[in-house]
């Protein structure tokens, strides 16, 4: 599966911008940390991009011989999703939203 980093390297300027915005939405904002790091939390963003791709892939047929093409399509869809969602102001990563909604 493609990583967020690879998608960034291979992506067009639009894709790069979308990935930057996605990464920027993952700054550490834990209440206990008094000074959040200025850099995006790429580790979390990377993890959530993978989960996002898996969610999209899960919607496809999981047991097909041409799994590679399904993975490719899911990756493509995930990037298309980032492109669309990062156009919105104050967008939130759907994986983060799901995390926050479920009780700890
Ligand atoms: Zn997230």
Instruction: Retrieve residue 2's tokens.
Output: 């493609």
Q: Please tell me the distance from the alpha carbon of residue 70 to that of residue 76, in angstroms, as a whole number.
A: 10
Number of domains in the chain: 1
Using 50 as the pLDDT threshold, list the residues of the chain that sit under it: 104
Q: Please tell me the distance from the alpha carbon of residue 48 to that of residue 43, in angstroms, as a whole number.
A: 9
Q: What pLDDT score was predicted for residue 36?
A: 54
List the domain range (segments joined by +) for residue 93.
4-29+37-101
The reply to whether the predicted model has a pTM over 0.75 is yes
Kindly compute the dihedral angle of the four CA atoms of residues 70, 72, 78, 79, in this order, to the nearest 10 degrees.
-160
Q: What pLDDT score was predicted for residue 99?
A: 82
Measured in Å, residue 64 CA sits from the centre of ligand 1 at 29
Measured in Å, residue 65 CA sits from the centre of ligand 1 at 30
Q: Please tell me the distance from the alpha carbon of residue 2 to that of residue 5, in angstroms, as a whole number.
A: 8
Instruction: Retrieve residue 7's tokens.
Output: 């998608």
Measured in Å, residue 75 CA sits from the centre of ligand 1 at 16
Q: Please tell me the distance from the alpha carbon of residue 94 to that of residue 104, in angstroms, as a whole number.
A: 17
Q: What pLDDT score was predicted for residue 100?
A: 75
Q: What pLDDT score was predicted for residue 64?
A: 64
**CB-count burial class (<10 Å; 0-12, 13-18, 19+) for 46:** middle
Q: What pLDDT score was predicted for residue 34?
A: 58
Helix axes 67-85, 42-59, angle to 10 degrees: 120
Q: What pLDDT score was predicted for residue 104?
A: 47
């Amino acid at each position: 599966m493609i990583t967020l980093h690879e998608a960034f390297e291979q992506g067009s300027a639009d894709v790069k911008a979308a990935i930057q915005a996605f990464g920027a939405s993952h700054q550490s904002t834990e209440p206990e940390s008094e000074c959040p790091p200025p850099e995006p939390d790429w580790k979390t963003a990377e993890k959530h991009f993978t989960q996002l791709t898996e969610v999209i892939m899960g919607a496809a047929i999981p047991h097909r011989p041409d799994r590679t093409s399904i993975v490719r399509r899911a990756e493509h869809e995930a990037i298309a999703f980032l492109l669309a969602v990062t156009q919105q102001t104050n967008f939130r990563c759907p994986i983060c939203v799901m995390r926050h909604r479920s009780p700890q």
